[in-house]
């Protein structure tokens, strides 16, 4: 790791030290792939004659893909099947980008350093099929105890339900969990769940 990454790793260790369970977001937190996701959304939107402003993807970071598709339709006054759009976006991401995914080095190192000492969960708004590939590519497969993703709870981030379900799976009280995130919806979900949180992009 670079000195900057090492410093961020050390900060994460200090912040998370007192917690029993660590709940990691994936896209933009464990995986350095937000630009790839933006390009996949933009390509999918173009098939519906939408010139997507990818700032919308920053705003909706952590939302389930279907919810983002609905937001795109509303903002651009388009009518389309959100599920079909979601599947197309995921297909583009997998076909063009997923194998090139790199980990966010200091977050990845943090998970590896803590996997034998803490309870580890993954909480993402992505689809299970896409996440499974991403986690394998960045060498996180098999290093966590539970994966909560799109469709596992009635509502996604910023609702607390995904985080509370992960805590339940791990058998850890919410106040003893800390969430590692890179977006406002995830942070709000952690707050709503009564958990600690840290924005890895603001260390």
Assess whether 53 and 27 both reside in one domain: no
Q: What is the CATH number of the domain that holds 41?
A: 1.10.150
102 by DSSP, 3-state: which?
Answer: strand
pLDDT in tens, 110-159: 999 999 999 999 999 988 989 999 999 999 999 999 999 999 999 999 99
- 125 and 68 share one domain: no
Q: What average pLDDT does the segment 40-48 reach?
A: 96
Do residues 12 and 109 both lie within one domain? Answer: yes
Distance CA 132, CA 150 (A): 12
Contact of 40 with 89, CB cutoff 8 Å: yes
Last residue of a domain, one of 98, 118, 148: 98
Kindly report whether the global pTM for this prediction surpasses the value 0.75. yes
Under 8 Å between Cβ of 185 and 60: yes
Give the structural domain span for 155: 3-32+102-202
Q: Is the pLDDT of residue 29 over 90?
A: yes
Q: Which two tokens stand for residue 167?
A: 């805590």
The pLDDT of residue 105 is above 90: yes
Task: Note whether 9 and 58 are same-domain residues.
Answer: no
Burial 95-121 (b: 16+ CB within 10 A, else e): eebbeebebbbbbbbbbeebbeebbbb
What CATH number does the domain containing 120 carry? 3.40.50.1000
Do 19 and 58 fall within a single domain? no
């Amino acid at each position: 790791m670079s000195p900057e990454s090492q410093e961020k790793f050390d900060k994460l260790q200090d912040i998370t030290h007192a917690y029993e369970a660590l709940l990691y977001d994936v896209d933009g937190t464990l995986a350095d792939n937000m630009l790839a996701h933006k390009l996949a959304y933009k390509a999918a939107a173009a098939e519906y004659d939408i010139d997507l402003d990818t700032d919308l993807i920053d705003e909706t970071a952590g939302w389930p893909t279907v919810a983002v598709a609905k937001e795109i339709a509303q903002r651009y006054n388009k009518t389309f099947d959100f599920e079909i759009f979601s599947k197309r976006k995921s297909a583009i991401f997998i076909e063009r980008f997923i194998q090139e995914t790199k980990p966010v080095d200091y977050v990845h190192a943090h998970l590896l350093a803590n996997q034998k000492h803490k309870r580890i969960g993954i909480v993402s708004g992505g689809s299970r099929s896409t996440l499974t590939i991403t986690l394998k590519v960045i060498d996180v497969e098999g290093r966590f105890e539970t994966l909560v993703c799109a469709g596992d709870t009635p509502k996604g981030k910023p609702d607390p339900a995904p985080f509370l379900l992960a805590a339940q799976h791990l058998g850890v009280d919410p106040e003893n969990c800390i969430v590692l995130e890179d977006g406002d919806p995830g942070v709000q979900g952690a707050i709503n769940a009564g958990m600690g949180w840290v924005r890895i992009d603001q260390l």
